[in-house]
Structure 1
Amino acid sequence: MRLPVTIRAMLAAVAAAMLVLLAPAQPASAHARLVNSDPANGATVTTPLTAVTFTFNEMVKQQFSTVVVTGADGVSYSDGTPKSVDKTLTQAVKPLPSGAVKVAWRTVSGDGHPIEGQFTFTNAAPAPTGAVPATSAPAAVASSAQAVVADQASGEAGSNGLLWAVLGGVAVVLALAGGAVWWRRRSTSG
C-alpha cells in the first residue's frame, strides 16, 4: 500500500524538522573531561604533597571550581581556592595525615556545563616536622558538599530543559502535520 503524496510530503517535512531541532543540540555534548590527576586515583604518595593537580582536555572556569581534599579523619585539608592555568586546575593542600585521602572536585566547562568527580589516594609520606593539623571542621566539608549537590541539581535542570524543549518542538510539528492531513482529508471529502 502506497501512501498518498500529501502524507509522504508531510512525513518528509516532519523528519526534516526533527533533524533541524536535534542537530543544534549535538555540540553541547562536547564538555571538558578530566584527563589526568596528580596524584592519580588509587596511588600511594611517599613524599609530602603541597597541591593536587587536575589536567583537563580543555580549559575550565576557575571562578566556579571547588576542590575538597579530606583526610581519613574527616577534616578538609584544602588550602585556599583552586587556581586554573590553561587546562590545569591546582588545589593547594595543608600537610596531609597518613592514610586514605579523598578528593572531590567540581568545575565548569568552557561551554558552561558543570563537571565533577572524586577519587582517593593513600598518603604514606612522613609527617612534616612541626606540622599543625588542619582546623577545618567536618561541618564545613558537609556544607560544601551540599552546595555542590545543589549546584549539580540546578545544572541538570538546565540540561533537562533543553530535552523537554526539543520534545515539545517535535510534538508541535507532529500536531501541525496531523492537523494539515486532517484538514486536507476533510476538504477533499466534503
Structure 2
Amino acid sequence: MRSRGLAATVLALLLALVGVVFAASAAAHSGLTSSVPAQDAQLTSGPAEVVLTFNEPLQEQFAVMTVVGPDGNYWHDGTAVVDGPRVRVALRPLGPVGAYTVNYRVTSADGHPVEGQRRFTLTVVGTGTPGTSASEDSGSGDGVPVWPFIIGAVVVIAAGVGAMFVLSRRRKS
C-alpha cells in the first residue's frame, strides 16, 4: 500500500517536471515584435519587401517567408534572408486589391521553430504579375511535427513507471 503511494507521488512529480520543462521551453522562443508593413496596414502601393523583427537574433538556417495574395498566388520574389533579429523577403510589384498574407517560419536562437502570419491590404490595383499558385504547394507540410513531443512524453512516462517499479521492488526486499 505504501509503495503505491510512493509510486503515485513519483509519477506526479515526473508529470509536473515535464510540464515545467515544456512551459520553460515555450517561454524561451523568439517572439515577433514588429513587421513592415504593419499588421493590418492599408496600403495604396506595394512595398519592395516585407521585414519581420523578433526579440532576439534568429538562426539563419531554415527561415521561410511567403507572401500570398488575394488571388491565391505567391507575390514574394526570392527566399527569406535573416539578419540578426530580422527576416526579410523581397516582393514582386503587387497586383490585385485585397488582403496579402505573410506566412513565416523561423528558427529561434534556442533552436525551436516559430511560425505565424501577418496581413496587410492593398487598396489600389497594382500592375504586378504573380508568381506560382500557392495551392500547388499546399501539401508541403509546413506545420510543426507533433511526433517528437509524443515520443518525448512516452519516454518520460516510461522512465517514471520504470522508476516506480524499481522502488517498489526495493521496498519489498
Question: Hey, which of these two has a bigger chunk of helix by percent?
Answer: 1
Amino acid at match of 2:119: T
Higher relative contact order (CA 8 A, sep 6+): 2
Residue 77 of structure 1: CA displacement?
A: 0.6
1:169 is aligned to 159
Q: Superposition pairs for residues 1-190 of structure 1, below 5 Å? A: 14=10, 18=14, 22=18, 27-29=24-26, 30-97=28-95, 98-125=97-124, 127=126, 131-134=127-130, 136-138=131-133, 141-149=134-142, 152-153=144-145, 156-181=146-171, 183-184=172-173
Residue 27 of structure 1: CA displacement?
A: 4.7
Question: Hey, which of these two has a bigger chunk of strand by percent?
Answer: 2
The TM-score, its normalising length taken from structure 2, stands at 0.79
Residue 14 of structure 1: CA displacement?
A: 3.6
Q: What CA deviation, in whole Å up to 9, does each residue of 1:13-36 have, x standing for no partner?
A: 948x749x6476665331112122
Residue 63 of structure 1: CA displacement?
A: 2.6
Q: Secondary structure at the match of 2:106?
A: strand
Residue 164 of structure 1: CA displacement?
A: 2.2
Unaligned 5+ residue runs, structure 2? none
Amino acid at match of 2:161: A
C-alpha change, 1:64 and 1:144, in structure 2 (3 Å) is farther
Higher alpha-carbon Rg: 1
The TM-score, its normalising length taken from structure 1, stands at 0.73
Residue 115 of structure 1: CA displacement?
A: 1.6
Amino acid at match of 1:152: V
Q: What CA deviation, in whole Å up to 9, does each residue of 1:25-79 have, x standing for no partner?
A: 6653311121222122222123430111111112222330111101111110111
C-alpha change, 1:32 and 1:145, in structure 2 (3 Å) is farther
Amino acid at match of 1:166: V
Q: Secondary structure at the match of 2:57?
A: coil
Q: Secondary structure at the match of 2:114?
A: strand
Whole-Å separation in 1 of the counterparts to 2:138 and 2:114: 14
Amino acid at match of 2:123: A
Q: How many residues align?
A: 170
Structure 1 range deviating more: 101-110 or 74-83: 101-110
